[in-house]
Structure 1
């Protein structure tokens, strides 16, 4: 099985970190490659960033289709370009939001999302409405750290714990979802800290959920429905 990970940002700084994280979740026999964008933004934290990243993402999807990969993970919790990508490749495509949230919905009644910055929150509410799961989201909270500022592991875990513990204590969340795929390698530590504090709730890592979802989809032999994701009509285009 060959999974292509599209890092929807410019620059190579995060490539190896993402590759290590994905390999930790993938099955031993799954081939993984990670590729960033030629054009776009350094991180995605707004609708504007998403729009600027879309042409670069779709370029990588076209390349993935040519290369015959078995599945694609666009590694961003905002699911940028995911639905457009499904129109142009005959392989399963996911971002971070959909697989993480659908996994979380099977584990508890109310889902709490903890993301990076306040300006991301409206984007996540919009996604929830698109997927018709807004009634199951008990809270969306932030750690007030930008995507490019998540490398301080101790600060990130402490802020995640503060928000998650408060959300669970107030009965706003039965499941915690990490609301950024840049929150690398913290899910198990957060889960254990919550359990030690008396909060036995699952913590869903969006990268882990996405890789598991793709591997399952490939084994099931499923790909995007052509009655939903219809191939775009032929015409002149300049991306």
Structure 2
């Protein structure tokens, strides 16, 4: 496949991420860039701001450059975006979530399972009053994580005394503000679910189609291993 890519496609890879403000995605982009460049490919990056229509427009523009592959965040897209990717006959990786059926490959973790394990862990540690800081601006994976956490707590006889949800992109200042809101509620014992959620990802990241598993010691959300790039690009 590598030979055919060299003749019929560019050495560019379309990368569409929701944000550069969120440090998670900046780390993801760093990992993607390092791996692709070692395989002589280069990312062309578009920022969607969690807007599916913008993602569609950016992808349509990028496809005119005949990219060798595409990387997109999450498993939710417009119907047109999905059709474009299926018709392109290139490797497609959807990152951040594996709780669904990918177009081609997906890399990430199961947000529902992670949230359920988070609830079990906190209850096992003796916590009984819970707060949550999160964002609801088309963050599909985050929304699934929140819903699963709340459902698990309620099933076990607890709830969220401070379910603070914000219509803004997640970032450090927003997190500090949200945490202060959560702590202002009496006896709240958890201010944010984020640290445990990321730990679940680092330990259980997989490529669902090819059934590759990344090591827990990986320093970024996308594997730094050159072998991953070879699998992804068909070497």
TM-score by shorter chain over 0.5: no
TM-score, with length taken from structure 1:
0.41
TM-score, with length taken from structure 2:
0.41
**Greater C-alpha radius of gyration:** 2
